[in-house]
Amino acid sequence: MRTMSMPSSIRITDVGPRDGLQNEPTPVSSEVKIAFINQLQRSGVAEVEVTGFVHPEWVPQLADADDVFSRIDRVPGVVRSALVPNEAGWDRAQAMDVDKIAVFTAASEQFTHKNINCTIEESLDRFAPVVRAASIAGKAVRGYVSCAVACPYAGPVDPAAVVDVVVRLLDLGVDEIDLGDTIGVATPHDIERLLVACAPHVSPAEVTLHLHDTGHAALACALHAMQLGVRSFDTSCGGLGGCPYAPGASGNLATEDLVRCCEMLGVDTGVAMPAVREASAWIEGALGRPPVSRTGATWTQLSSEQG
């Protein structure tokens, strides 16, 4: 694959309210979530993944999904999306008039079983009527492939296994492929191998990358991916995140870390750093701990020096 120069712009989806808060041991009230989501919607990100219409017993932290979605602002130009695992989730999402849904499966049988209680094949069968209904309703559909690099239960994942799932999702008619490094262990080399394997079916320019940052290489992976043509990234404000069914996985690549790096490189993200800082301070205040992002650490340092 040819290495390209840095893009002039990228698209950011902040998944913090969903991926970030689904894994928090501290309960977060619906009011705090709503304020957080509204701040993110005004930060300049293209999309906010608001919540998941998943089973409340499987992810109790998102049990208020319907209430939260019904009360957030509609900010012109910002896509408000949510996870949908099956038809029951689609019914809930449709009632909330979501702009876009995300179906989610994985390239690992073990993870799929733990996360959504079925095989990969069964998950795709469940998605078929959901994708059809969403298309009729004029809603865009993202298709996540988790464990695109490694599985918390089965170890390294062969890119060929990812390609199989990507092809099946494209056949179902999803509009976007999102490759998830669920446990945050990818290296730039892994990302390149993955993009090369997927390229005959979906070009890097059509892929979204969803990087967790357990190995502290998510930023390096994102920069390398940009050079390989990827233009769309999931991040989370404050570096929140983690999947309750991926033990040991840390948060997503922090929005502020990617934005700051892009600012240094002249890559436009559309995101206003002061707004991300404010949203990060808000949610970390509610959670009672400092941000885990690198940029957040400099904010904390600067405020303590000034204070």
Contacts with ligand HMG by CB under 6 A lie at 19, 22, 52-55, 58-59, 83, 85-86, 88-89, 104, 115-117, 144, 146, 180, 182, 210, 212, 243, 245
Do the Cβ atoms of 203 and 212 come closer than 8 Å?
no
Of 37 and 133, the one with the shorter C-beta distance to Mg ion is 37
153 binds, among Mg ion, ligand HMG, none (CB under 5 to 8 A by kind): none
CB of 237 to ligand HMG, least distance (A): 15
Burial (CB count within 10 angstroms: exposed 0-12, middle 13-18, buried 19+), residue 46 = middle
Are 279 and 237 contacting, i.e. CB atoms less than 8 angstroms apart?
yes
Rounded distance between C-alpha atoms, residue 182 and residue 161, angstroms: 15
State in angstroms the smallest separation of the CB of 263 from ligand HMG: 25
Nearest distance in Å: CB 252, ligand HMG: 8
Contact residues: Mg ion, CB under 5 A: 19
Q: Provide the minimum distance between the beta carbon of 207 and ligand HMG in the complex, in angstroms, as a whole number.
A: 13
Choice between 185 and 267, CB closer to ligand HMG: 185
Partner that binds at residue 146, options Mg ion, ligand HMG, none, CB closer than 5 to 8 Å by kind: ligand HMG
Q: What is the DSSP letter of 2?
A: -
Return the one option of ligand HMG, Mg ion, none that residue 32 interacts with (CB less than 5 to 8 A, by type): none
- Pairing of the two strands 155-156 and 150-151: antiparallel
Nearer to ligand HMG, 207 or 281 (CB): 207
Residue 115 interacts with which of Mg ion, ligand HMG, none, CB < 5 to 8 Å by class: ligand HMG
By the 8 A CB rule, do 197 and 162 touch? Answer: yes
Residue ranges of E strands in the chain: 11-14, 47-52, 79-83, 100-106, 140-146, 150-151, 155-156, 176-181, 207-211, 232-235
Q: Would residue 151 show up in a list of annotated catalytic residues for this protein?
A: no
CB of 105 to ligand HMG, least distance (A): 9
* Dihedral angle computed from the Cα positions of residues 41, 86, 243 and 292, in that order, rounded to the nearest 10 degrees: 0
Q: Which is nearer to Mg ion, 133 or 162 (CB)?
A: 162
Per DSSP, what are the bridge partners of residue 51?
A: 82
* Catalytic pick among 221, 243, 261, 262: 243
Phi, psi of 103 (to 5 degrees): -85, 155
Residue 59's binding partner out of Mg ion, ligand HMG, none, with CB under 5 to 8 Å set by partner kind? ligand HMG
Give me the active site residues, please. 243
